[in-house]
Amino acid sequence: MLWPSPPWDSVTYWALDLETGGLDHRRDPILAVGMVPVRAGSVRLGEAWSSLARPGSAASITPGSITAHQLLPGDVRSAPSIEALLPELDLRLSEGSLLVHQASIDLPFLRRAFRDLGRRWPGPAVVDTVELLVKEARRARFLDPGAPDEHPDLTLSGARQAHGLPPYQGHDALTDAIATAELFLVLRQRLGARTLRDLR
């Protein structure tokens, strides 16, 4: 028996994006955090929050990541530490669901930050727009078995373009969080999701 699931628009989704010093969550630092809520089916830009994050003294920023996000060591030297930012993250993550584009990248960084600083992971429900894109593609093939078996573009910019959303400059934490929130609303409508369970 399935437990009841709340209507999708009764849940607050905190769209989150991180910029990091590399892709290895075991050693690379978080350099920037951007978050914006989706409440009652609307992106609430007035509640957006973002910050740069100062890496620990032993952490380094890989050249490849600098090419992507353009954040140099000097840009984050005077930023708050991730320890100082965790209460802000915790407050938002404890309020509702976490909305990300490609959870397999952002979640390990977040979990490590909480674990390393001795804080309990709040354990929010996670909605991943990459998983929704895959679900949408499967649904399209189910409805039209004769359609070409094409894989969807799973990049944030490519998925937005494929769904008629305007292009944004990528690799800015807050801009990417907003871009994820907008994509989520389009995918929710395309999938006809009515409950939180339908989005997971």
pTM, entire model:
0.92
pLDDT at 145: 73
Q: Is residue 13 assigned to a domain? A: yes
Residue 200: inside a domain = no
CATH label of the domain that carries residue 137: 3.30.420.10
Residue 145 forms part of a structural domain: yes
Nearest CA among 166, 124, 133 for reference residue 37: 124
What is the predicted pLDDT for the residue at 95? Answer: 92
pLDDT of residue 111: 96
Lowest-confidence pick of 13-22, 68-77, 133-142, 177-186: 68-77
Q: Structural domain tally of the chain?
A: 1
Angle made by CA atoms 132, 134, 135, in degrees to the nearest 5: 60
Helix, strand, coil % over all residues of the chain, rounded to 5: 45, 20, 40
Q: Is residue 199 part of a domain?
A: no
SS3 36: strand
Domain annotation covers residue 196? no
Taking residues 128-154, what's their average pLDDT?
85
158 Cβ contact partners less than 8 Å away, ≥ 6 residues apart: none
Q: Which residue has the tokens 């404890």?
A: 94
Expressed as residue numbers, the domain containing 107 is 8-191
In a domain, 3, yes or no: no
Residue 78 burial (CB < 10 Å; 0-12/13-18/19+)?
Answer: exposed
- Does 14 reside within a domain? yes
User: 174 lies in a domain?
Assistant: yes
* Distance, CA of 200 to CA of 193 (rounded, Å): 10
- Tell me if 67 sits within 8 A of 52, measured CB to CB: no
Q: Is the dihedral of CA 5, 193, 140, 183 positive or negative?
A: negative
